[in-house]
A and B are shown apart, each in its own frame.
Chain A
Amino acid sequence: MEYLLTTNSLTKQYGRHKAVNGVSLHVRQGDIYGLIGRNGAGKTTILKMISGLAAPTAGDFTLFGETGKHTAPYLSRVGTLIETPGVYPNMSAAENLKIKCLSLGVRQKGVIDELLQTVGLAGAGNKKVKNFSLGMKQRLGIALALVGDPDLVILDEPINGLDPQGIAEVRETLFKLNKERNITLIISSHILEELSKIATRYGIIHDGVLLQELSREELLAKCSERIELKTSDTRKACTVLEGMGITDYKVVDASTIHIFERLNDSGEITMKLAENQVKTMGIAVKNEALEDYYLNLTGGAANV
């Protein structure tokens, strides 16, 4: 089983509007999969469908190697936190966890204390949830998703409304869960900068369509500082670059090469190319921030 979860042209239609349109995600065991998209892009709808909370209009998903109706028994191995944490405000954090434990038949002693400890709520178990801060509620929501030792945890905007310290704490918790318990995480967010600190793989969604799926390395490569060389003959240019000892480069299209080393040597590169009768049509050092990359991909700042 190469992938723990794949969606196969998953589609959700409300009336004439397609909230999710033919999305095919690929999540490996142990991934921290970041689902990025602006508000209303269809992230929550996708997560609801793969959590078993909503039925797809078309398409299906493969979970733990099973597809369609056969995924039903495996949904108990999926923990979810969709939108805001669903908690009983008049009950304590421990009581909220106890309810989830009862529903799943979890009877291990000390499991509630352990979960509270994991999410950093060790001292707040007996406190009523209505007196919790937003960050504490968010962490309780994560603890609820972890009841029953799930293999896959789906978190929809888990850092929404948190202060910087809260964001860092949640990030640390998720990282620990992934590394120590080997839990696969799918995290949605519209804040790419935050996701980039934790995710190992990304799916960029816009208007219900999956625009791109890429690994952390691929994304960083796309966003790193580079020399963008426009030339009439990329093949010959590559020979010249290699002759100069430049090996970290990538041919992007028929006329563009991205060079990721010796960023201060653009003058020397131009001269060398000229010596070898390779015409330079343009050369510039470029640096695209993650956010800019995302904005360009989804159609510019006007969409945010």
Chain B
Amino acid sequence: MFNLIKMDVYRMFHSVSTWVTLAFAVVLAVFSIFMINTDIQSIAAEPQRAEQVQGEITGNEDRQIGMSVSANPEWVSGDIEAGAIISTAVKSGILLLLCTIFTAVFVNAEQKNGYIKNIAGQFPNRGVLALSKLIAVALQVLLMLIIFTLVTALSGLILWGGRFYLGSVPALFKFLGTQYLLHLGFSALILFLCVLTRSSAFSMVAGLLPCFGVLVPFYSIINKVVYDIRPGWHFDISRYMLDGNISMAGIGASSGVLLRAVLVGCVFILLSTVLAMLILKKRDVR
């Protein structure tokens, strides 16, 4: 098992996809900051927009289709907390997009080029091939999150100078830890889909849809059906889904929301990995 982990980590650092996604993490972090800054400038130019944006931030918890970062009106003239900016950028799903692409490309490469046939026979419990891949993916997700966070913070510092401050470090770490588990859970789900379908295209598309919030209308339908059956039960399926929790578990979220997000992340990691391992073990290698 240890040998397989070493193999996959070696492959990860020698894959083009690893460095491309890390480069995109840098570019998208800078892009997010510029988008937030553009939003701040537009609120400053049209003060009436501030009320509308404030309403979106505090009053309306419904997610919208698409990917967006929005500025807090308080940032127009006040200080800007690094954690809040990082939270806004991570919650937008930009990093999730990169996790999906990397996992689909990395996990499926072995199947696509047939390298799996060189090694699978020599491991009677082929399931470990999925586990070693998850560990390599976990390392890459961690690297992406760290780089994205650092570049976001650095870009904020360059752009806003003295107005930009670090804020609560423990809260930032709690937020990043929670988001890491959620992003890893999502990557584990993509890994499972790759193993199940042997298709990187399908897995990538299936992963990108939640990133862009395309599943939100389906969640609404499920919520409505559940409401019709049990009106007294305030059920919201997005609370138990990875994409829903990624958008909810911000830096200011309550402990309850963060705890639920951690649990959802862990359940998805565990379930997806176990299922992927079982499929690899039971199914013939093509």
Contact = CB atoms under 8 A, between A and B. Distances in A.
B114 interface: yes
Contacts of B221: none
Given A53-B121, A75-B122, A102 B113 contact: no
Contact of A89 (B6, B14, B113, B116): B113
Contact of A84 (B4, B109, B114): B114
B60 interface: no
B58 interface: no
B115 A86 contact: yes
B199 to A, nearest CB: 17
B158 interface: no
A151 to B, nearest CB: 13
Contacts of A84: 114
Interface in B5-41: 6-7, 10-11, 14-16
A99 interface: yes
A84 B286 CA distance: 12
B7 A99 contact: yes
A95 interface: yes
B190 to A, nearest CB: 20
A98 interface: yes
Interface string A90-120: 1100011011101111000000000000000
Interface in B99-129: 109, 113-122, 124
A91 B14 CA distance: 7
A77 to B, nearest CB: 9
B143 interface: no
A55 interface: yes
B214 interface: no
B206 interface: no
Nearest to B109: A88
Most buried by A among B109, B121, B124, B285: B121
B121 A88 contact: no
Most buried by B among A53, A86, A105: A86
B120 A52 contact: yes
Contacts of A73: 124
B3 interface: yes
A295 interface: no
A289 to B, nearest CB: 34
Nearest to A12: B284
B150 to A, nearest CB: 28
B122 A144 contact: no
Contacts of A100: 118-119
Given A54-B284, A75-B124, A103 B7 contact: yes
A25 to B, nearest CB: 17
A80 interface: yes
A203 interface: no
A282 B109 CA distance: 64
A78 B124 CA distance: 12
Contacts, number: 75
A99 B11 contact: yes
Nearest to B285: A53
A206 interface: no
Nearest to A91: B14
A100 to B, nearest CB: 6
B285 A48 contact: yes
Contacts of A51: 117, 121
A105 B3 contact: yes
A76 interface: yes
Most buried by A among B3, B117, B285: B117
Contacts of A81: 118
A90 B14 CA distance: 9
A82 interface: yes
A83 interface: yes
Given A48-B284, A53-B284, A99 B121 contact: no
A191 interface: no
Nearest to A90: B16
A86 B3 contact: no
B3 A104 contact: yes
B15 A90 contact: yes
Contacts of A174: none
B117 A86 contact: yes
A145 interface: yes
B121 A78 contact: yes
Interface string B248-286: 000000000000000000000000000000000000110
Interface of B: 3-4, 6-7, 10-11, 14-16, 109, 113-122, 124, 284-285
Q: 4 tightest A-B contacts by CB?
A: A86-B114, A52-B121, A72-B124, A54-B284
Given A87-B113, A88-B115, 13 more contacts: A51-B117, A53-B120, A81-B118, A83-B114, A86-B113, A86-B115, A86-B117, A88-B11, A90-B16, A96-B115, A100-B118, A103-B4, A104-B3
24 contacts: A48-B285, A51-B117, A52-B121, A53-B117, A53-B285, A54-B284, A73-B124, A78-B122, A80-B121, A85-B114, A86-B117, A86-B118, A88-B11, A88-B113, A88-B115, A90-B15, A90-B16, A96-B115, A99-B11, A100-B118, A103-B3, A103-B4, A104-B3, A148-B122
